[in-house]
Homo-oligomer: A and B are copies of this chain.
Amino acid sequence: MFNRYFEDFQTGDCWSSRGRTITETDLVSFAAWSGDWYPLHTDQEWARNTSYGQRIAHGMLVLSAAIGLTHLEPGTVAAFYGLDRVRFVAPTFIGDTIHVTYEFVEKQERENDGIVTAKLEVKKQTGQTVAAAVVKFLVNKCPVSQ
């Protein structure tokens, strides 16, 4: 889906990634790397006393993994432009398997390239959406058609 030039994106097109199981390793590694040790992610005893009853993944972990599952193709996608309306709508627990879906909703042509806007949803194995956002990519035009 992302190995296409600007001309070949159609609004309404969808794409769905492979899955990735979110593990305790991911929570520990992300807490460490990012420096965000908020106890809901890293302290089992503290998390036990919340409404979740257990540790949950960082919002930024889920969003970063989602972008990582997207596999942007260098020749066609030129840049990850930005994000809008990012909302963390349900918890991702240790052992949940997430994947990301895109629905392309808008194309904005520019002189040498174009901006493609998509609705991103991160879902888990139950079908529940855990995070949602609007994403904008800068996409190259087809070299021949320019």
Residues of A within 8 A of B (CB): 18-21, 23-26, 28-30, 32-40, 42-46, 55, 58-61, 63-65, 67-72, 74, 79-88, 95, 97, 125, 133
Given known contacts A24-B25, A81-B88, A18 and B39 CB-to-CB distance under 8 angstroms? yes
State how many copies of this chain the complex holds.
6
Beta-carbon contact of A35 and B36 below 8 Å = no
Q: Among B43, B64, B81, point to the contact of A64 (Cβ < 8 A).
A: B64
Nearest B-chain residue to A86, judged by Cβ: B83
Beta-carbon contact of B82 and A44 below 8 Å = no
Beta-carbon contact of B97 and A18 below 8 Å = no
Task: Collect the chain B residues with CB atoms within 8 Å of residue A24's CB.
Answer: 23-25
Beta-carbon contact of A35 and B68 below 8 Å = yes
Query: Closest CB of chain B to A140's CB: distance in Å?
Result: 13
Given known contacts A74-B18, A84-B86, A85-B82, A65 and B28 CB-to-CB distance under 8 angstroms? no
Task: Collect the chain B residues with CB atoms within 8 Å of residue A97's CB.
Answer: 43-46
Beta-carbon contact of B35 and A69 below 8 Å = yes
Nearest B-chain residue to A26, judged by Cβ: B28
Query: Closest CB of chain B to A144's CB: distance in Å?
Result: 21
